[in-house]
Amino acid sequence: MKDPKDRLESLRAEIERRNPAQPEFHQAVREVLESLAPVFAARPEYAVPGLLERITEPERQIIFRVPWQDDHGTVHVNRGYRVEFNSALGPYKGGLRFHPSVDIGVVKFLGFEQIFKNALTGLGIGGGKGGSDFDPRGRSDAEVMRFCQSFMTELQRHIGEHTDVPAGDIGVGGREIGYLFGQYRRITNRWEAGVLTGKGTGWGGSQIRPQATGYGSVLFAAEMLRHRGLGLDGRSAVVSGSGNVALYTIEKLQQLGAYPITCSDSQGYVVDEKGIDLDLLRQIKEVERGRVSDYAARRGSAARFVPGGRVWEVAAEVAFPSATQNELGADDARALIAGGVKAVSEGANMPTTPEAVRLFQEAGVAFGPGKAANAGGVAVSALEMSQNASRSSWSAQRVEEELAGIMRDIHTVCQETAERYGAPGDYVVGANIAGFERVADAMLAQGVI
């Protein structure tokens, strides 16, 4: 039988050959495959031909044209995507991202990550992802509505509560989900609440869903620190981004007694020595749709805006990359380590480069990978699906308690799996292997499909 490492390397090379010019997807696959050699050595049943080849190939890839008119009557054409990657554990589940950087490689990377993230929740959901290269920034509500209606006119053919359940991601918040759901209902003539998650609480949405990803990232960091006999109370925190994930990361950090002092956007970052004023930041980002430089201008002398800077230049004890992929590189990791960082918890998807991850691990920093640390969002999405299925609505307290329990369980399974495979404290290995085992067992049981 071929050596597991050789087999995994051959598969990686073949995936890169068959999927050219998709560096994010290559990176995500490489990270998982690098963790699996000891699994194949310990569990030969996974060495059956075709298992890894199937798990790294999407079950379905959908690309479609999205034409729409702006407020001046000009017609624009964007490209829409939905990658339904793996449904062994349940219906495809994963967000929609509207951002100019979206292409098939980005969507495949996100969908591949989603397989294992969703498996870690234990909630019976498969992995998928989608989106468009449409940029909602600077567009009127009417323009966003027309785009969403055109996007859903095609997407509705491929989704459903028992098939594929999209949610929001970068560029897709409550406004966009509302427009998408309205068009789905209009076309299908069905009130199928379970077809989308992230809905408004007045029409099928769940309490705590907007907060869930940010909250979960902080809860995972708290578990990593607790396992080392430490806590979050009184610790300084650096947070990147200023979108939904970052805002609620800041909120939960403050609730647990930590001291978040930064936020950022594509123009630079703010450091606020008094601690982030969350009400002011929310007003600027969620109501006015402004920039973090506006926050610094209105906050006063305690805050300063650093144009074009890297938020990781700011020394802190805990760090939460919460913006986008590959935003934290090797030099950033060195700066954080020199500043005394003790834990890093990924709120975004794959925001830390492989070299930066290695540097954190070598320095003894507790590192929570996104497929574990930011699973809170999809976990509460699955709880929203449960509520929709029973036409019930849970209290915020119940949902938050469920979320806290899920994040504790994810931490435990990652920690125990890493120890079982001889890599204690390596949450990357633990998350990759634990997620893989759950999906692989289901695929083996269901046959070659």
Return the ∠ at Cα 147 (arms to 142 and 148), rounded to 5°. Answer: 95
Please tell me which residue in 93, 108, 117, 129 is annotated as part of the active site: 129
- The answer to whether the Cα torsion of 208, 212, 215, 220 is positive or negative is positive
Q: In this structure, what token pair is assigned to residue 412?
A: 């435990």
Q: In angstroms, rounded to a whole number, what is the distance separating the alpha carbons of residues 385 and 381?
A: 6
Is residue 44 within 8 Å of residue 65, measured between CB atoms?
no
How many Å separate Cα 25 from the centre of its chain?
15
Q: In angstroms, rounded to a whole number, what is the distance separating the alpha carbons of residues 222 and 345?
A: 9
User: What is the crossing angle of helices 4-18 and 23-33, to 10°?
Assistant: 170
Q: Per DSSP, which regions of 150-212 are E strands? A: 164-168
Q: Using alpha carbons, list the distances in angstroms from residue 310 to 4, 241, 267, 335, 432.
A: 40, 11, 10, 10, 29
Q: In angstroms, rounded to a whole number, what is the distance separating the alpha carbons of residues 15 and 105?
A: 12
How many Å separate Cα 311 from the centre of its chain?
20
The residue written with tokens 């029973």 in the block is: 390
DSSP-assigned states of every residue in 116-134: HHHHHHTS--EEEEEEES-
Q: Using alpha carbons, list the distances in angstroms from residue 406 to 36, 217, 232, 374.
A: 24, 12, 19, 11
Q: In angstroms, rounded to a whole number, what is the distance separating the alpha carbons of residues 307 and 270?
A: 9
Q: In angstroms, rounded to a whole number, what is the distance separating the alpha carbons of residues 369 and 354?
A: 11
Q: In this structure, what token pair is assigned to residue 58?
A: 């999407």
93 labelled catalytic: no
Dihedral (C-alpha) 361, 363, 365, 371: value to the nearest 10 degrees?
-20
- Residues noted as catalytic: 129
